[in-house]
Amino acid sequence: MGLFDKLKLGLAKTRRAFSDRVEMVLRRRRIDEDVFEELEDALLSADVGLDTTGFLLDRLTKEARREKLETADQLIPVLRREIHAIVAARTDSVKSVSDSMTSLYYDQNGLTVVLVVGVNGVGKTTTIGKLAYALKQEGKRVMVAAGDTFRAAAIEQLSVWADRAGVDIIKQTTGSDAAAVIFDAIEAAKARRADVLLCDTAGRLQNKAHLMDELEKIYRVIAREVPGAPHETLLVLDATTGQNAIIQAKLFQDVAKVTGIVLTKLDGTAKGGVVIAIGKELKIPVKWVGLGERLEDLQPFSADDFATALFDSLS
Ligand SMILES: Nc1nc2c(ncn2[C@@H]2O[C@H](COP(=O)(O)OP(=O)(O)OP(=O)(O)O)[C@@H](O)[C@H]2O)c(=O)[nH]1
Ligand SMILES: [Mg+2]
């Protein structure tokens, strides 16, 4: 299966929630109040969120007036264009999933350090495994650092993923200092001339002060050991949490220098419209999406492909 087909399949529930209602709109010939109400339902049911839905309806109303649109079907390409514009504003670096496997910022001349953050259970460790695999497929020399020293099974879980991806892991025992583990990993990565070091971290938001202290220390160590690093701080968000993901992102932006989002578990949720809300409300690009639990179930996010997949059966 190609990457686009996989994205489309992953978005199946979102597409259903969304397109069924848009189809009701298409059954109406003339544009009236009900048309806008039904479009509102379509957007909300795909978890686009109140603010972003309001924004889109406003744009649709204005465009309908400006372009003197008369029939409901004329609104669909407008909606598609507006959604694409929102999503593409943050992600125009990747035009199509086939353009580039890795939408990561690289240091071409040395070690690239990527820090992965997010709350409990969103998919950080899994994403690191998948990312390690994708980067390795591109010919990069990849290592991972077991920076989640908090949860008992975390290190073992990352070891399993490192094995699957065929990359080296640097780890210590549970309870050791996360910044010290990452320091060790950087030294090892330099010695082994690795291209990329992916650092796992513990997911804790409830204890924000502690999280802030620990992350600050990790940032300090990384910046001291590798000038300009971390090159990326990827925030992992779970698509099944819908609008809650936006709240998490805003909290994390206060404590970490987030450069990109990985949106996991897009498969099997009808809340994929959260991609649009993220595009509208956060100034961070979605760089990757998770579409399953296997090694190859991660792909670079493409605004073009997202809009095409969402509207596929409607045009
Ligand atoms: N369906 C699906 N499941 C996923 C995806 N990404 C992760 N998961 C699952 O989500 C669960 C949690 O993933 P982890 O990688 O352990 O999450 P984490 O953020 O590291 O969790 P903590 O270390 O506890 O903070 C696992 O069961 C994963 O298999 C995805 O894209 N799709
Ligand atoms: Mg983890």
Ligand of minimum distance to the alpha carbon of 122: 1
Residue/partner pairs of 51-54 with CB below 8 Å, 24 or more apart: 51/277, 51/280, 51/281, 52/86, 52/276, 52/277, 52/280, 52/281
C-beta separation of 253 from 26 below 8 A:
no
Per-residue pLDDT, 207: 67
pLDDT of residue 101: 46
Pick from 13, 116, 126, 161 the residue to mutate for probing ligand 1's pocket: most ligand atoms within 8 Å of its CB.
Answer: 126
Ligand 2 mean position to 149 CA, how many Å? 10
Residues with CB under 6 A from ligand 1: 118, 120-126, 148, 151, 154, 203, 236, 264-265, 267-268, 290-293, 297
What residues sit around ligand 2, an ion, with C-beta below 5 angstroms? 124-125
- Residue pair 177/148 in contact by the 8 Å Cβ criterion: no
One-letter amino acid of 149: T
CA of 192 to the centre of ligand 2 (A): 25
pLDDT tens track, the chain, 315 positions? 788 999 999 999 999 999 888 988 888 889 999 999 999 999 999 999 999 999 999 999 999 999 999 999 999 999 999 999 999 987 655 444 433 445 677 788 899 999 999 999 999 999 999 999 999 998 999 999 999 999 889 999 999 999 999 999 999 999 999 999 999 999 999 999 999 999 999 987 766 788 788 999 999 999 999 999 999 999 999 999 999 999 999 989 888 999 999 999 999 899 999 999 999 999 899 999 999 999 999 999 999 999 999 998 775
Residue whose CA lies nearest to ligand 1 atom number 9: 123
Residue whose CA is closest, atom 17 of ligand 1?
123
Please report how the helices 50-66 and 75-91 are oriented relative to each other, as an axis angle in degrees rounded to 10.
130
Atom 26 in ligand 1: residue holding the nearest Cα: 123
Task: Report the pLDDT value the prediction gives residue 107, as an integer from 0 to 100.
Answer: 82
- Ligand 1, atom 14, residue with closest C-alpha: 123
Phi and psi torsions of 287, nearest 5°? -100, -35
Question: What's the pTM?
Answer: 0.94
Closest Cα to atom 6, ligand 1: which residue? 123
Q: Which atom of ligand 1 is nearest to the CA of 200?
A: 20
pLDDT of residue 222: 98
* pLDDT of res. 212: 80
